[in-house]
Amino acid sequence: MARALLVAVAVVALVFSVASAAPSPLVAPKPEPGKRSKIPAKTPLTTITFNPAAGHKRDYQVTCTNTGPHRRPCVVTCPSTCPNKCLVFCAYCLTFCMCDLFPGTSCGDPRFTGADGNTFYFHGKKEQDFCVVTDTDLHINAHFIGNRNAATKREFTWIQALGITFGADNHRLYIGARKATEWDDDEDHIQITFDGEPVNVNAVKGAQWVSKALPALSVSRIDTVNAVTVDLDGVFTITANAVPITDDDDRVHRYGKTGKDSLVHLDLGYKFHALSDEVDGVLGQTYRPNFASMVNITAKMPIMGGADKYRSSGLFSPDCAVSRFHRRAGAGEEHVAVGFAS
């Protein structure tokens, strides 16, 4: 009996010793108010989603992917400005809202952050298309949806889709958010087509589609539904999240939402790898080396005007007044179009 008791005590002591030797979890530090986070390029990010209806806890434990024998779990909480969905940089246990992470974003009632780091609003107009980036071999139009609050007589707009035209062959890539009367977190609201053909990606986090006709083009899921990264090697990487206007959003901002439409739209992040110095468009102009913003960035709500010069006649029409698509790079210079191997 005494021997059995001694063995039991030894086992308990061993288990306690092993548990004590395990590294304690990293805990995400609280971000400093008003400070924009910066992380290195090509940093591996993980999407985490908090769904209150499913009874999920607010804190998540994520296994870090950094190499080495002493990997530590990471307990994170999404920032208060995006409590239901965010990105985590596990190696340093940092979380970010996508719209606050990188220069080159368009989110919400379109709030753009340019390459110069300044944030401004561009409201466009409901059911019209505007060029957000236009360059010699790349043209991106955005389709705006909107809703008018009859009580405040104000019209709000959001980006519902992108029409991307690129290359000497004028390839067409569509990234859009499907309309929904009621939002369902488990339903995929993102729709993508390439040259008119649907792009189907398995609803599995990390799943990838690669174009057979153009292997440089790929689409990857960063969450099981409603979040993808679209990559064209050497040209751009675009992250698209389909999101609704929630009842909380409507109550705070008085959007005038009705039960007929959840106003699903896209929050977008852009990285460009080969823009010319002549690039233009609502967002594109901020990538020019000599760009000087005319927007009053000290205002509470800095607004970029000039909608007429950015208006396009259709989602895939590169005909806005500032269009640079397939035009000369400069006076006296012949433009050489970029080709893509197929």
Which helix H or strand E contains 15, and what residues bound it? helix 2-21
- Residues of the chain with pLDDT below 50 are 1-22, 33-36, 331-342
Q: How far is CA 153 from CA 33, 144, 148, 254, 327, in A?
A: 33, 18, 7, 11, 41
- Residue 279 CB-half CA count within 13 A: 24
pLDDT of residue 17: 38
Judge residue 111's burial from the number of C-beta atoms within 10 Å of its C-beta, 0-12 exposed, 13-18 middle, 19 or more buried.
Answer: middle
Distance of alpha carbon 85 from alpha carbon 91, whole angstroms = 19
Tokens 């108010």 correspond to what residue?
A: 33
pLDDT of residue 30: 54
Distance of alpha carbon 279 from alpha carbon 231, whole angstroms = 19
- Going by C-alpha positions, the residue among 169, 226, 174 that lies closest to residue 342 is 169
pLDDT of residue 4: 47
Distance of alpha carbon 87 from alpha carbon 321, whole angstroms = 37
Longest distance between any two alpha carbons in the chain, whole Å: 98
pLDDT of residue 101: 63
pTM, rounded to two decimals: 0.77
Judge residue 296's burial from the number of C-beta atoms within 10 Å of its C-beta, 0-12 exposed, 13-18 middle, 19 or more buried.
Answer: exposed
